[in-house]
């Protein structure tokens, strides 16, 4: 069971360090749950430092497919490894929506990160209109195609219509999608999409839900810790 907090473009380096110190005190030793935080790039080094000597991992929100080069604004996997970062998210729906991220690019980013020794959370999920047209499985099949099974790969199923909207897939819908993903790729699958302390236990209790990629609810220590504890089976 993995609970990862995606902070998106929130928290300065100073705020990140303070949050991580509070998190390590509040979380203590949680058995049977792996925990990761994913700050913005400016917060990675402070997070690694604040969470040293704990089991809480630090991951980036993106990573480039080249080890170096003329790619202004990008960060490579070797740079993340050098910082002591554990892994990276690739293909989040906001990257796809706002920055034109393609399935091919997601696959290249994932492969580069895995080759560098990082763990990867690769995001997939359908738009609301795609679900209404009955295209969910086609979308997931297309998005998963550039990815290959790997010991350090985790997929996050995030129905785009449930991200930051307050809407949440029912546990049955989440289970159905997770089972389909696993039929195509033998990896753990997290659920992402308005996960909150109030719905975490029911979602995480589904047989094919292996954890959560938490957005807004990961920005407050108390709510994030509550979700982490809900993952104990």
Asked if 181 and 145 touch (Cβ cutoff 8 Å), the reply is no
Q: Which residue in the list 64, 92, 94, 101 is annotated as catalytic?
A: 92
- Give catalytic status of residue 158 as yes or no: yes
- Give catalytic status of residue 92 as yes or no: yes
Residue in the block written with tokens 């990815």: 147
What DSSP character marks residue 43?
G
Q: Which residue in the list 94, 101, 158, 178 is annotated as catalytic?
A: 158
User: Which of 210, 229, 213, 231 is closest to 7 using CA atoms?
Assistant: 213
- C-alpha to C-alpha distance for 127 and 119, rounded to whole angstroms: 26
Asked if 44 and 99 touch (Cβ cutoff 8 Å), the reply is no
User: Which of 174, 233, 202, 225 is closest to 3 using CA atoms?
Assistant: 225
The residues annotated as belonging to the active site are 92, 158
């Amino acid at each position: 069971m993995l609970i990862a907090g995606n902070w998106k473009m929130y928290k300065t380096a100073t705020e990140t360090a303070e949050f991580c110190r509070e998190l390590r005190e509040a979380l203590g030793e949680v058995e049977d749950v792996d925990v990761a935080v994913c700050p913005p790039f400016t917060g990675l080094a402070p997070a690694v430092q604040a969470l040293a000597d704990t089991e809480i991992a630090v991951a980036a929100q993106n990573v480039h497919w080249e080890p170096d080069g003329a790619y202004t604004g990008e960060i490579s996997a070797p740079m993340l490894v050098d910082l002591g970062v554990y892994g990276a998210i690739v293909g989040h729906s906001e990257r796809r929506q706002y920055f034109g991220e393609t399935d091919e690019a997601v696959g290249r980013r994932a492969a580069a990160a895995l080759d560098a020794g990082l763990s990867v959370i690769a995001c997939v999920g359908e738009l609301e209109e795609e679900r209404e047209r009955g295209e969910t499985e086609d979308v997931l099949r297309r998005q998963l195609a550039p990815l290959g099974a790997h010991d350090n790969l985790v997929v996050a199923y995030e129905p785009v219509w449930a991200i930051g909207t307050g809407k949440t897939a029912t546990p049955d819908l989440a289970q159905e999608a997770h089972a389909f993903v696993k039929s195509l790729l033998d990896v753990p699958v997290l659920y992402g999409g308005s996960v909150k302390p109030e719905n975490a236990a029911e979602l995480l209790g589904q047989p094919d839900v292996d954890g959560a990629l938490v957005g807004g609810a990961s920005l407050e220590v108390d709510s994030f810790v509550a979700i982490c504890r809900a993952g104990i089976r």
